[in-house]
Structure 1
């Protein structure tokens, strides 16, 4: 039977106190390939509240950044030195039906941040990568940005959206469930139809202006913004 996530009042009090002093943004560092410095510099600040998803602790150490909390079944952590991190900041959660990233997201939601960034979650095993990207199709409680070495994925619900990208940047759109009433403004390519069927892949569109707009009346889109082209 899956074990529910539990933590002591002391753990909650410490995390909430540290989160209040943070930038109101959570950065989850997973156990995938090491993120490039340009990504870290863009996402991680001195004020970020950092959650290491189990083996993501190794990236925290490489960055010389102690996490505020370490979450997971901790199988990848037990072999690592833990000096400098209070023992109560290790949250052990055994649930074979949820990945360590999902456990970290569950905890992050409790903090009610304005946004969540996820690093080192893409690019290793393809099944893990796909599983993580699919989280974006159903996670809509708090804006979640999933970064790779070139840019980020995020999900948007029906409505009007102004993208935080610049003219010339590449933008890809994916619809897993179908989207209706689609309208794009400020892009090189616009759809001939007002609907995207389930499984639609609109890869490598290009923004013709800063902050292009997307609107649609139903469904959910996964957006990818490419921020860097070079290796």
Structure 2
């Protein structure tokens, strides 16, 4: 079993290497004050005048100058190349929720890899905050208090059955699957409720919903089990 590097009873902000706006970091810290970097994401944290509690990754994108000024105790180099830096972090952090910055936007293949990581390590709840969207993997059950008219998109990463109420196009039981059935561009009538039978459905909301999503994910009991 792989040992945890960071364990907290409160949400953690994890910063990746893609673009991170200063206001995004400020929003994240309010909800998740502990800062952890995925490899080169440490640059964003240091630029903001802060020092990460840990830097986790293979260190292929952490500059030599930055590595030299960081305390050696916070650097955790993981040599294996079978996982991304994001996945290395998800596997080694224990927290009620991870807020991920610097994983949306930038290269499309990196974004797809991040979505894969959410599904691969679904037992560790994580919400990704970008400049336009907030993205997370739906837990078994989730209630969200959204404003009427809020866009809601549901996108499957694998076969999954879902139920949804409070949407313009609600459904009691719908089988989603990539290449077969997706649920983008729905709209909330107000508060919504989602239920899924597998860790395979992304929920995509406007970035303005970030604080609402964080509070709901932290408050909602029950999560997906770790993969064997």
Q: What band does the TM-score fall into relative to the shorter chain? A: 0.7 to 0.9
CA distance, structure 1, for counterparts of residue 129 and residue 154 of structure 2: 16
Equivalent of 2:183, from 193, 202, 215?
202
Q: Matches of residues 186-197 of structure 1 in structure 2 within 5 Å?
A: 186-191=166-171, 194-197=174-177
Give the RMSD, CA atoms, in angstroms.
Answer: 2.8
**TM-score, normalization by structure 1:** 0.78
Residue equivalent to 1:178:
159
CA distance, structure 1, for counterparts of residue 204 and residue 21 of structure 2: 18
Q: Matches of residues 25-174 of structure 1 in structure 2 within 5 Å?
A: 25-33=11-19, 35-45=20-30, 48-82=33-67, 85-108=70-93, 112-158=94-140, 160-174=141-155
Could you tell which deviates more after superposition, 46-55 or 118-127? Answer: 46-55
Closer, same or farther: CA 91–98 of 1 in aligned 2, 3 Å: same
Q: How many pairs does the alignment contain? A: 208
Could you tell which deviates more after superposition, 146-155 or 42-51? Answer: 42-51
CA distance, structure 1, for counterparts of residue 39 and residue 198 of structure 2: 36
**TM-score, normalization by structure 2:** 0.79
Q: Give the C-alpha shift of residue 221 in structure 1.
A: 1.4
Unaligned runs of at least 5 residues, structure 2 = 210-228
| Alpha-carbon contact 1:169-1:227 (below 8 Å) kept | no
Residue equivalent to 1:24:
10
CA distance, structure 2, for counterparts of residue 184 and residue 73 of structure 1: 40
| Alpha-carbon contact 1:174-1:223 (below 8 Å) kept | yes
| Alpha-carbon contact 1:119-1:146 (below 8 Å) kept | yes
SS of residue in 2 equivalent to 1:80: helix
Residue equivalent to 1:213:
193
SS of residue in 2 equivalent to 1:194: strand
Q: Give the C-alpha shift of residue 57 in structure 1.
A: 1.1
Larger Rg: 1
SS of residue in 1 equivalent to 2:98: strand
CA distance, structure 2, for counterparts of residue 95 and residue 48 of structure 1: 29
SS of residue in 2 equivalent to 1:41: helix
Could you tell which deviates more after superposition, 164-173 or 87-96? Answer: 164-173
1:153-200: per-residue Cα shift (whole Å, max 9, x none)? 111244x321253332211101222223x3321112235973223443
SS of residue in 1 equivalent to 2:88: helix
